[in-house]
Copies of this chain bind each other. A is one copy, B any other.
Amino acid sequence: MAVTLAQAINQALKDAMSDDERVLMFGEDVGRLGGVFRVTDGLQEMFGEGRCYDTPLAESGIVGTAIGLAMYGYRPIAEMQFDGFTYPAFEQIVSHLAKMPNRSRGTVKLPVTIRIPYGGGIGAVEHHSESPESYWVHTQGLKVLTPGTPEDGYSMMRAAISSDDPVVFLEPKRRYWMKSDVELPVETEPATQAVVRREGTDASLFCYGPMVRTALEAADAAADEGWYLEVVDLRSLAPLDTPAILASVQRTGRAIVVHEASRTLGMGAEVAARIQEGAFYHLEAPVLRATGFDTPYPPAKLEEYWLPDVDRILDCLERSLSY
């Protein structure tokens, strides 16, 4: 059956809410409207206004009440409408959601899932195309997951909701309409493991979320030229599956990290740092980064020039091979 990423996540929400009545879904416009991307479509009808509801327009309120609901015993899923609108909730996420379990010496569990549609490439206006993952990954105490396929959309969302730890769940919005042929429910690899999406010998491409497809396309293009790229979908940005990353580089000797976020202190920095720490003698070239630039996210008409694409990845490959 052809399932889009948005449908897969929607189904995961439905199944989780059916299986466990402590699961709640709330946020701006998630009720009657079904979310601006329709990811929560039908939930309010199925589970009532008590379990799927529209909140006031206040993101700190959404996350802060999620924490209170979780303390009570619920398992809240909170939607932030867009990446760029999570920032009002920053304090609640960083100072409480991430830290309260640790603060409490483990007596308070916060099984909260924060859903965030993220990334660009959809021609949107400002603040609707950002990639804020570094903010969450640098914040200790959170798990940060991001699916790159509809299968993972379903399976990783179920894992996020079942986790007793707070999870930031980043949904690559430009892939919401990407389809897979799959029967739901489906269970993929454990959510905190990286997965090799394509094996290769000449270099490793590390990618996640919206860039998984792009990386696979780059690998296709490279294969046409006789270069075989291994594509590793990181899936979990925190924790980061360092062993899988190192294993791939040990096979290929070269690494390129791909992400939409700006380069400086994007995930590429951390992946590069870990690779050179852990596989120093295996590296035949520096770890390179095919990323967005160190400028604010551009206006829609210029985003194609800003976002990493197959060409930028192949440029990196060329540079890597030149060492």
Q: Given A276-B276, A280-B323, A286-B280, verify A84-B90 contact (CB < 8 Å).
A: no
Question: A240 — nearest CB in chain B belongs to which residue?
Answer: B264
- Name the one of B94, B102, B138, B141 contacting A266, with C-beta atoms under 8 angstroms: B138
Cβ-defined contact, B99 with A91, below 8 A: no
B138 A262 Cβ-Cβ under 8 A: yes
Determine if A269 is an interface residue (Cβ-Cβ < 8 Å). yes
Tier of interface size on chain A: 35 or more
Q: Are A134 and B296 in contact (CB under 8 A)?
A: no
A87 touches B91 (CB 8 A): yes
The residues of B that contact A264 with a CB separation of less than 8 Å are: 137-138, 140, 238, 240, 270
Smallest beta-carbon distance A125→chain B, Å? 11
A262 to B273, CA, bound (A): 14
A sample of 7 more A-B contacts (CB under 8 A), given A90-B91, A138-B261, is: A87-B91, A87-B95, A138-B264, A138-B266, A140-B264, A269-B269, A277-B286
Q: How near does chain B come to A98, taking the closest CB pair, in angstroms?
A: 7
Which A residues form the contact surface with B (CB < 8 A)?
60, 84, 87-88, 90-91, 94-95, 98-99, 102-103, 126-127, 134-135, 137-138, 140-141, 238, 240, 261-262, 264-270, 272-273, 276-278, 280, 283, 285-289, 294-296, 323
CA distance A271 to B85 in the complex (A): 29
Q: Is the CB of B296 within 8 A of A141?
A: yes
| Interchain Cβ contacts under 8 Å between A and B, 20 examples | A87-B91, A88-B91, A98-B296, A99-B126, A134-B134, A135-B138, A137-B265, A138-B262, A265-B265, A269-B269, A272-B272, A272-B273, A272-B276, A273-B287, A276-B276, A276-B286, A277-B289, A280-B285, A280-B286, A280-B323
